[in-house]
Structure 1
Amino acid sequence: MTAARADTIRILSFGDSLSAGYQLPAGTGFTDRLQEKLNAEGLDAEVINAAVSGDTTASGLSRLDWSTPDDVDLVLLELGANDALQGLPIDRARANLAAMIETFQAKGIKVALMGMMAPPNMGADYTASFDAIYPALAKEYQIPLYPFFLEDVAAQPHLNLEDGMHPNEEGIKIIVAKVAPFIIDILKQTN
C-alpha cells in the first residue's frame, strides 16, 4: 500500500437497495454521488458500495464478514427498511443491527447508523416501536445517528422511481446533500 493510498478515508456503505443504486444508471447511485461530494469538499475518500437490494437486517448480518473489505475507516449502516416493509419482528431487527454494530466495532471500524422509519400502513404500534430502534442503538453504542436516511425524499413522487419507494437520481442528490455534512462531521471528529 502506498503512502497516498494509506491516507484515503475508506467508507463502506453497508445497506440495501436504497443505498445500492437500485435501477439507477451507473455512476448515479448513493455511493458514487457521495464520493463525488466528499471529494469536492476536499476529502480523499473512497466510498465502497456494499449494499445489496432486498437485504433485511438478517441477510446483512449473514454476509457481513465476507462483504467487508480490509482497512475500512467508517461504515454507514443502512439496513432495516425491508424488515419494516415485511413486518418482520422488531426485536429481531434490533438484535441484528446490534450484532452488526458490535462486529464492525470489534474490527476497529467506526459505525454511523442511518436511521429508517416504518411505513405508516404497518400500524401505529409497529411504526413507533420500529422507529425507536435507531435512536436506542445509537445511544447504547455511542455511535452517530442520521435520523432518517430518506429525509425529504420519502413519499415525494417526483424524487422516487415509479415504485414510490426507491429514490431516483434527483432523490439521491438530496440524500447526499443532507448526509454528506453528517459524514464530514464524523470524519473531523475522528481525525
Structure 2
Amino acid sequence: MASFNSLSPIRYTACVKLSWIALSLALSLTLTGCKTSDGARHAEDYSRDTRPARPMAQNPSPAATSTIKDERPVILCFGDSITAGYNLDAGQSYPDYLQKALDEKGYKYHVVNQGISGDTTKDGLARAEDAVALHPAVILVELGGNDGLRGIPIASTRANFDGILAKLTATGAKVVLLGITLPPQYGKVYINQFNETYALMATKYNLTLFPFLYKDVYGVQGAIQRDGIHPTDLGSQLIVKNVLPLVEPNLKR
C-alpha cells in the first residue's frame, strides 16, 4: 500500500485497469442514458444530487455531525457523496466505520464527516474554510469524481485542488489524498490527465496518496449500490480497510 505514493501516472493507470473493466460496464448504462426497470438515473444526475443519506439527515451519527461537542482530536473526512454516505442508513458511511475501527483499536479521535453529495472540487474549495475551522489533526480528501463525470476542464480541477490543499496543509494537519478514476468513455487523454492530477497534487504538497479509493471494493459482490457508483454498507467497510493503514501512522494513543 505504501508503494502507491511513488506510482507514476502510467503505473497508476495500469494499477486500476482491471477494476475499471467492471466499473465501465456499470457506468456505461447510466452515462449513456439507459433506463432500467427500477428507474435508475444518469450517473451525472447522481453526482448532482445534493441530498445527504436519508436517515443521516433525520438521526445523525457521531461521524456525520460536526456540531456535537467533542474534545478529542478531529479526523476530518472531506469529500462528496462517497464520503457523505449517499443512500445509506445512519452509521453506514465509511467515516462511521472509520470511527468504529479507531474506537476498537483504542484511538481517542473524533471522526467528522464533511461529505456533501454532488460536490465538485469548486464546491470543496468554497467550503475549505469550514474544514480549517475544525483544526483537524488528519484530513482525508475525497473529491474530483464529480468533476470527471461532468467533463470539467482538467485545468479547473487542478486549480481548485491547489486551493483546497493549500488551505488544508497550511493548518499543519496530516492530509491523505484519496483518488478515483474514470471509465473508458471519457477518452485516454482526459483520463490520463485526470489520474495525473492526484499524483501531481500529492507530490506538490507531499501528501500520502491512495490512487484508487475503490481498490478491492469494485468487483466485490454487494459492495456497490445499484447505481453503479456509490458504496453500499459493505463497500464502506471495505473502503476503511484501504484508508485505515494510511491514517494510523499519523495517530497517537
Deviation at 1:74, TM superposition (A): 1.2
| Conservation of the 8 A alpha-carbon contact between 2:75 and 2:138 | yes
Structure 1 residue 30 corresponds to structure 2 residue 59: no
> What 5-or-longer segments of structure 2 have no aligned partner?
1-69
The equivalent residue for 2:3 is none
The equivalent residue for 1:46 is 110
User: What CA distance in whole angstroms lies between the structure 1 residues aligned with 2:91 and 2:172?
Assistant: 29
**What's the secondary structure of 2:236's corresponding residue?**
helix
| Conservation of the 8 A alpha-carbon contact between 2:132 and 2:167 | no
User: What CA distance in whole angstroms lies between the structure 1 residues aligned with 2:235 and 2:124?
Assistant: 24
1:112-152 per-position Cα deviation (integer Å, ceiling 9, x unaligned) = 11112122211111111101111111111111111211212
| Conservation of the 8 A alpha-carbon contact between 1:33 and 1:176 | yes
| Conservation of the 8 A alpha-carbon contact between 1:29 and 1:172 | yes
**What's the secondary structure of 1:26's corresponding residue?**
coil
Normalised by the size of structure 1, how large is the TM-score? 0.89
Deviation at 1:67, TM superposition (A): 4.8
User: What CA distance in whole angstroms lies between the structure 1 residues aligned with 2:174 and 2:156?
Assistant: 23
> What 5-or-longer segments of structure 1 have no aligned partner?
none
Structure 1 residue 56 corresponds to structure 2 residue 120: yes
| Conservation of the 8 A alpha-carbon contact between 1:112 and 1:145 | yes
User: What CA distance in whole angstroms lies between the structure 2 residues aligned with 1:157 and 1:80?
Assistant: 25
Aligned length: 184
User: What CA distance in whole angstroms lies between the structure 2 residues aligned with 1:35 and 1:15?
Assistant: 16
After TM superposition, the structure 1 stretch with the greater mean CA deviation from structure 2, 169-178 or 50-59, is 169-178
Structure 1 pair 155/85, CA: closer, same or farther in 2 (3 Å)?
A: farther
- Out of 82, 88, 91, the position equivalent to 2:152 is 88
- Structure 2 counterpart of 1:91, one-letter code: A
- Out of 179, 185, 190, the position equivalent to 1:126 is 190
- Out of 66, 75, 83, the position equivalent to 2:130 is 66
The equivalent residue for 2:179 is 115
| Conservation of the 8 A alpha-carbon contact between 1:80 and 1:93 | yes
Deviation at 1:157, TM superposition (A): 5.7
Correspondences of 1:157-172 after superposition (within 5 Å): 158-172=222-236
User: What CA distance in whole angstroms lies between the structure 1 residues aligned with 2:250 and 2:164?
Assistant: 19
| Conservation of the 8 A alpha-carbon contact between 1:84 and 1:119 | no
User: What CA distance in whole angstroms lies between the structure 1 residues aligned with 2:102 and 2:83?
Assistant: 16
